[in-house]
Amino acid sequence: MDISLIAFSFILVLIPSIITYKLNIGIEKEILKNSIRALLQLTALGFVLGFLFKIKNPFFYIPVILFMLLYSAYIAQKRTKYSFKAAFLTLSLSTLIILSILIVFKIISLKPNEFIPISGMIIGNALNTYTLTIERLKREIELQRELIEAFIAIGAKYTDALKIMQREAIKAALIPVNNMLQTIGVVAIPGITTGMLLAGANPLKAVSYQIVIIYMLVSINLFSSLFGSWFFIRQKIK
């Protein structure tokens, strides 16, 4: 672990922290706290992965993935102020579907150095999309109360109005992945490709892995948004 490299790179955190402090934006403490938290978490991750990569029995991956799902559901609940159960089910179902496809078609193997990082990437992206969807859906329902009342007034069902909000929320949550698909390889060189190139991999091989990851992200974003909004609407109509 290169301590000097990390220490110098921390300047990139201090600069925005100072700027937000000077502009009275009020998030400098959060930036610093979360940056240090990220450092500690990633350092711990390095030690944990070093241990996990020595495990050959896939059965022992289950507690690791379960912990990731539980922690992500906790973060989702904290950010959205919404159901932990809905978050956990959304993330679990989305992750299970994508991992099953990847394994059945032998896109990835059950080797720990493939299965665990990919699982983490899937759950992390599912979490981001889930929170975006729920936040947008809550906002749509709050801002479009007149539209909902108009639907009910003409004899339409409450669920019909909510489905319109659901479509808008899903569209909004998928904007980042659509932007990524449009700019990748032209504007941005994505993380997996960059990491493999820095490690000295063949560019075409690095690109092949990245394409798999990108297509995987499209699915995980859709499933997470779809399941999350479905659970939310189901609870609303109870």
> DSSP state, 188?
B
Q: Nearest-CA neighbor of 55 among 111, 124, 136, 129?
A: 111
pLDDT digits (tens, 9 = 90+) for 30-47: 888 988 888 888 888 888
Contact between 220 and 173 (Cβ < 8 Å)? no
Q: What does pLDDT average to over the chain? A: 85
Distances (CA, A) of 215 to 170, 177, 180, 211: 18, 10, 11, 6
pTM of the complete model: 0.81
Structure tokens that stand for 37 in this block: 């938290």
Give the integer Cα–Cα distance in Å for 229 and 223: 10
Task: Convert 14-28 to b/e letters by CB count within 10 Å (16 or more is b).
Answer: eeebeebeeeeeeeb
pLDDT grade, residue 2 (50/70/90)? low
pLDDT digits (tens, 9 = 90+) for 173-185: 888 888 888 877 6
pLDDT of residue 197: 64
**Residue 223 predicted with pLDDT over 70:** yes
SS3 57: coil
Q: Which residues, in sequence order, are bridge partners of residue 188?
A: 184
**Residue 109 predicted with pLDDT over 80:** yes
Give the integer Cα–Cα distance in Å for 25 and 197: 37
Q: Quick one: what percent of the chain has pLDDT higher than 70?
A: 91
Give the integer Cα–Cα distance in Å for 112 and 62: 11
Of the ranges 44-48, 131-135, 221-225, which one carries the lowest mean pLDDT score? 44-48
pLDDT of residue 195: 66
Give the integer Cα–Cα distance in Å for 127 and 136: 14
Q: What is the largest CA-CA distance in the chain?
A: 67
**Cβ count near 140 (within 10 Å):** 20
Q: Quick one: what percent of the chain has pLDDT higher than 90?
A: 29
Contact between 220 and 94 (Cβ < 8 Å)? yes
pLDDT digits (tens, 9 = 90+) for 68-81: 999 999 999 999 99
Give the integer Cα–Cα distance in Å for 120 and 69: 9
pLDDT grade, residue 187 (50/70/90)? low
pLDDT of residue 84: 95
pLDDT grade, residue 100 (50/70/90)? very high
Give the integer Cα–Cα distance in Å for 129 and 123: 10
Give the integer Cα–Cα distance in Å for 55 and 111: 9
Of 47 and 123, the structure prediction assigns the larger pLDDT to 123
pLDDT digits (tens, 9 = 90+) for 8-37: 788 888 888 898 888 888 888 888 898 888
Q: Which residues contact 66 (CB under 8 A, 6 or more apart)?
A: none
pLDDT of residue 72: 96
**Residue 155 predicted with pLDDT over 90:** no
Q: Which residues, in sequence order, are bridge partners of residue 184?
A: 188
**Residue 194 predicted with pLDDT over 70:** no
**Residue 199 predicted with pLDDT over 70:** no
Give the integer Cα–Cα distance in Å for 117 and 110: 11
Contact between 141 and 90 (Cβ < 8 Å)? no
**Residue 94 predicted with pLDDT over 70:** yes
